[in-house]
Amino acid sequence: MTREADSELQKWGRMLFARATPGPRHPGRGVRIPTSDVVRREVRLVVKRAPQVMVKVTGGGRGMAVIQAHMNYIDREGDGLIDQDRERHEGREARREVARQWAREGTPIPEWSDRREAFNIMWSMPAGTDSKKLLAAVQALAARQFAGHKYVMALHTHQANPHVHLLVRAESDHGVRLNPRKADLHEWRTEFAAELRERGIAAAATRQAARGVVKNYLNIWQVKAQGEGRLRNQRPSHKDSQVACDTRADALGAWNGVAAALAQSDKSEDRNLARQVLEFVNTMLLERERAILPQRSMAPVERGLER
């Protein structure tokens, strides 16, 4: 029965954990189907509530004036900027020299531009995460994802959650431009979590719907604007649209399928994981009910799958 369980795991795991192959740099875009072992790993991470990585594109520079201002901002602690060659640039004059290189090498970047010439990306983990390992994870990921692009990064540990600010030049040394889409962001999150796990840090990159998240979170600029009283349009506190409810219902169905597949396995550890999935899903539903009443009926998972 384990072979049948593996097949079912792949089927339902695809709904929960599969990711699209990102954008124009990857011809033949499609969906990467996780293996049954990958599904098991992701299920364990979710049911054990492993910390979720956060990756956000927080803006981008339209011209060197904005780009250099962001370099100054992320290096405000004065520890220096680390570039794509892992060289550290400390001090105002060093930052200016990096900016001059960005401006004149490749297609020149004017002081002010109508197009986005750089992307600001933040990589974050919860408080207590080893900051040196976090930085190493981002460095390893950036070397692959942004090969051929100039970038600088800075580690921030002065706030509750340690995070790395990465500023990457939009155009590569070969004239290829970045154009991050939703699939790219999920790819980055997945690789970030994998790099952290390789360094002994429990981390996951599971979609919110699969975790039963119903709360709407403000973007960084919205948080700042709200604090200053400038936020005019308030987002709903919860994701209660029909699309969001349908997505969560699909995820619940997939969790049912995962639990059933694991329960029919010949391996005792699979059957034990099935019970953990049931406990997780029912807890998730209770938490959801406390937060928001769903538009669709979502009854708790039926028990009795134990063998």
The pLDDT tens digits along the chain (307 residues) read 678 889 999 999 998 987 644 444 443 344 567 899 999 999 999 999 999 999 999 988 899 999 999 999 999 888 899 999 999 999 999 999 999 999 999 899 999 999 999 999 999 999 999 999 999 999 999 999 999 999 999 999 988 899 999 999 999 999 999 999 988 999 999 999 999 999 999 999 998 888 877 654 455 545 555 566 665 666 555 566 777 778 888 999 999 999 999 999 999 999 999 999 999 999 888 877 666 554 444 445 544 444 4
Query: Which phi and psi angles does 54 have, rounded to 5°?
Result: -125, 130
Q: What is the CATH number of domain 54-198?
A: 3.30.930.30
Angle of helix 36-47 versus helix 268-291 axis, rounded to 10: 50
Tokens 């509530």 correspond to 49
For residue 165, the SS3 value is strand
For residue 166, the SS3 value is strand
Query: Which phi and psi angles does 57 have, rounded to 5°?
Result: -85, 110
The domain ranges of the chain are: 2-50+239-291, 54-198
pLDDT for the residue 236 = 56
pLDDT for the residue 231 = 58
What one-letter code names the amino acid at 194?
A
Whether the model pTM is above 0.85: no
For residue 106, the SS3 value is coil
pLDDT for the residue 240 = 64
